[in-house]
Amino acid sequence: MCGIIGIIGNQDVAVEIYEGLICLQHRGQDSAGIATYNKQFHLKKGMGLVRDIFRQDHMENLRGNLGLGHVRYPTVGVKSAEDAQPFIVNSPYGIAMAHNGNVFNFDKLKHELFEENFRHINSNCDVEVILNVFAYELQRFCHRDFFDSVCQAVSGVYKRVKGAYAVVAIIADKGLIAFRDPYGIKPLVWGRRQSSFKTEHLFTSENTMFQILDFEFFRDVGPGEVVYVDLNGEVKSKEVLKKNFTPCIFEYVYFARPDSFLNNVSVYRSRLRMGQNLAKKIKKQYPDLEIDAVVPAPESSTPAAMSLAKELGVRFTMGLIKNHTIGRTFIMPGQDIRKRANEFKLSPIEIEIRDKNILVVDDSIVRGNVSRHIVKLMRGAGAKKVYFSSTAPPLRWPCLYGIDLPTREEYIAYNLNEEEIAKSIGADLVIYQDQEDLIEAVVRKGDVKFKQPCAACFDGQYPTGDINEEVLRDIEIQRKADRKIIEGKGSVMF
């Protein structure tokens, strides 16, 4: 999972891209990069957080009214400066590109591009294969109408690139393009800013920076749609290939900021509804459960915990305080790093917990490390009983679309039932949201153009229809090899 920004404005855009990336930092803490264009490309990228990579002299060198930004955590390859985005190729025209997503046939395409298209992939980052497929296809059609050539190139990407992706790109002396995979799995939001000269456009993973940058939400880029904004501000768009619209449900559960509005659905409101639905299940299945206080596992589960407490008529309290200097442990590279970070991340407020039956609400239970640590904190603070609930169903299937959960064995629910999971994390009871209730919470309100989001990590139903056991096995073998490299490097980070 990553965060992307593409802007075409009326003046230099580097500072606005920087500010936008700050607003997307929750989507990736591994690396960040900015590319701009004014008759030549300017590029700065590096490892770490946005605020640590870019200095004043970098911003002064990033000139141009066309620009891309990216924050990354890796799902292909390992932690490496060479894999930081954006990437640039010189032909045709010159193209810079950044993406959010995952290409699960990366290795096959890397080999195919070299052997058949004579294009070398110099990194382990999957956007480089998207970029080179796009560039190869564009060169084949660039003698035609330019926008038609772009559409033909995107069509070539759809035919060859397997997975999920939202893409922003600059084409030298032509303009900005944005496109989304045919299933719309990864989000891509379009904002506009009116001016006396010409309308400025911004494409990004979330609309979190719109108010800060004075952009107004226009609409989402549709599944299978390509949008092109030329240097004169003229906009062209086309639905190149649309399949069944299945946006990722985990954006609403965990990844997106609560102030985001994705696919015409408020992330905050969807999380409130998740809490309502989970409360109804608790009342139905555990009517005699004695709960003194509801405590969220901060912070993505806080809205759900608030509405759950209200529905149950139980006191809501912030019994856990998060250390904001620690990043999101879910997306940290390496199991040892995640475990160590958890020790610093949360602190209990003992007066809110002691001698009480506590219902903890978390967005999900993934590996069980955070859940186990939270239960331990509750016990240490004097809780009489600790019930642990999840606004998401059990995670049991690998995500090949951009979540860093590649092997089934990593999930605590892979071969354990709820009673066994409760015992493993030390809780008195574990309660999961039902999948149909989670989906209902997302699609209940708004101008919703989808009814069945991608929930493959819960049920193994992959919407792209090209993932079988052989694909899963091959991916898991590669991911396990990557894990060994990451674990070996990661132990020195804390």
Q: Please give the positions annotated as active site.
A: 2
CA distance 31 to 86: 11
Sign of dihedral through CA atoms 73, 76, 77, 81? negative
Q: What is the 3-state secondary structure (H, E, C) of the chain?
A: CEEEEEEECCCCCHHHHHHHHHHCHHHCCCEEEEEEECCCEEEEEEECCHHHHCCHHHHHHCCCCEEEEEEECCCCCCCCHHHCCCEEECCCCCEEEEEEEEECCHHHHHHHHHHHHCCCCCCCCHHHHHHHHHHHHHHHHCCCCHHHHHHHHHHHHHHHCCEEEEEEEEECCCEEEEEECCCCCCCCEEEEECCCCCCEEEEECCCCCHHHHCCEEEEECCCCEEEEEECCCCEEEEECCCCCCCCECHHHHHHCCCCCEECCEEHHHHHHHHHHHHHHHHHHHCCCCCCCEEEECCCCCHHHHHHHHHHHCCEECCCEEECCCCCCHHHCCCHHHHHHHHHHHEEECHHHHCCCEEEEEECCCCCCHHHHHHHHHHHHCCCCEEEEEECCCCCCCCCCCCCCCCCHHHCCCCCCCHHHHHHHHCCCEEEECCHHHHHHHHHCCCCCCCCCCECHHHHCCCCCCCCCHHHHHHHHHHHHHHHHHHHHHHCCCC
